[in-house]
Structure 1
């Protein structure tokens, strides 16, 4: 087995997860309160439809590797409300949409910290390669700080800062450069999605590890990773890393 020099991790449903619908609910509650305060009658189902349409627009852009950030999603929602809101209300809605992730309850996947410390203790460099949705990279890193693990990473590549989503080579190249330029064959990428994490890593010549502990991606049969793990405790072993 080729010696591994660096390991990159996907963020959502690999390092961190939310309880289903948590962030969506926070944004809808914030908007409902702001609209009610401003005197705009609305139905919860209407807001849900507006939000879901914005998410569909994001997914389309994500698949096309075209950036669709939080502010754009919020503006998309405002345009779909079906009524005009004054500039101050519009600004408040956009701000609330973006800030919903600040105090959200995001959970570290079981075994993550021990895995990271084992790899770090073996001299492995660590990185993050993350496709950002409606919560900015700054907020996502803040959550890792709160969980006490951000200092374990040597570099990170978030799509809203790099300007590319996985599986595009650009975001993987950004990660490799930031980790000191190791040859791809000596770098592993751990993530849950076949289309982005597995396909992107394999195309770069990296070792792909598909993590199924939170989301066992059955959206497509291929590609498959060289290794499939259900718990982070398995990662060092499948990569041949022995803790010091």
Structure 2
């Protein structure tokens, strides 16, 4: 019998493969269409420059643990492009920025669904602890629903809903409470990033699994996981199920 009652998963590059370039293209096209419909210049180079500034601000805020959401990013785009005075333009650009990723088809990581079903079959509670980046959590849930696996999760803790980023203990506490008040020592967390996933899980006293099936995080970025895996199929054995 496993000594674990629950496991939480990171989202980007742990559950779902991120496609930053494709997301950027979708957003650029959507925003250009809005601007053109209002008779405004829609140079792709200028839109890309506004995206660069939004990402720069996000990355700085994320590192400091200060919330910077997709809505903030869209406001930055408007600021850089100089279109903050027209309310309708602002509303439509913000909506385009936030909703454009919905049209994308992103891949699950290898052996994820089968692993989730094994864990659920063994009686473990399964959750998500995710720093959403610049894509709102409803869109992330839609991705999982589209792949038919949303129902395999008992609870989710997204940074734009909880209000903090990993490695803050509050987002892990939110997850463990939502999974039924799980003792951290009887829970595991799996994710790809040392600074957020591994440091946060270790700080809680959870078993920290670093997943390198998509990316192999730089050792300088934080502590190593208690266990390092390359394939989700390894998880049940690690947890003793």
User: What TM-score range do you get, normalising by the shorter chain?
Assistant: over 0.9
Say which SS state the counterpart of residue 73 (structure 2) adopts. helix
List per-residue Cα deviations over 1:65-95 (Å, max 9, x = no partner): 1111121110111001145652212211111
CA contact (8 A) 1:6 1:182 kept: yes
Q: What is the CA-CA distance between 1:42 and the residue it aligns to? A: 3.9
Matches within 5 A, 1:137-156: 137-156=137-156
Q: What is the CA-CA distance between 1:20 and the residue it aligns to? A: 4.0
Say which SS state the counterpart of residue 101 (structure 2) adopts. coil
Moved more, 162-171 or 135-144: 135-144
Counterpart of 1:7?
7
Q: Would you say 1:36 and 2:36 are equivalent positions?
A: yes
Counterpart of 2:135?
135
List per-residue Cα deviations over 1:128-182 (Å, max 9, x = no partner): 0010122111111111111111111111101111111000000000011111112
The structure with more helix, counted as a fraction of residues: 2
Q: What is the CA-CA distance between 1:47 and the residue it aligns to? A: 1.1
Structure 1's 58 and 235: CA in aligned 2 closer, same or farther, altered over 3 A? Answer: same
Counterpart of 1:57?
57
Moved more, 84-93 or 109-118: 84-93
Counterpart of 2:88?
88
Structure 1's 219 and 227: CA in aligned 2 closer, same or farther, altered over 3 A? Answer: closer
Structure 1's 49 and 219: CA in aligned 2 closer, same or farther, altered over 3 A? Answer: farther
Moved more, 7-16 or 142-151: 142-151
Question: May I ask how many residue pairs the two structures share in their alignment?
Answer: 241
TM-score, length of structure 1 as denominator length: 0.94
CA distance in 2, matches of 1:222, 1:154: 29
Structure 1's 122 and 84: CA in aligned 2 closer, same or farther, altered over 3 A? Answer: closer
Instruction: Kindly report structure 1 stretches of 4+ aligned residues shifted beyond 3 Å.
Output: 82-85
Q: Would you say 1:167 and 2:177 are equivalent positions?
A: no
CA distance in 1, matches of 2:79, 2:184: 44
CA contact (8 A) 1:69 1:160 kept: yes
CA distance in 1, matches of 2:219, 2:36: 39
CA contact (8 A) 1:18 1:105 kept: no
Moved more, 198-207 or 47-56: 47-56
Segments of 5+ residues of structure 2 without an aligned counterpart are none
Moved more, 36-45 or 138-147: 36-45
CA contact (8 A) 1:16 1:107 kept: yes
Q: Would you say 1:206 and 2:209 are equivalent positions?
A: no
Segments of 5+ residues of structure 1 without an aligned counterpart are none
Counterpart of 1:226?
226
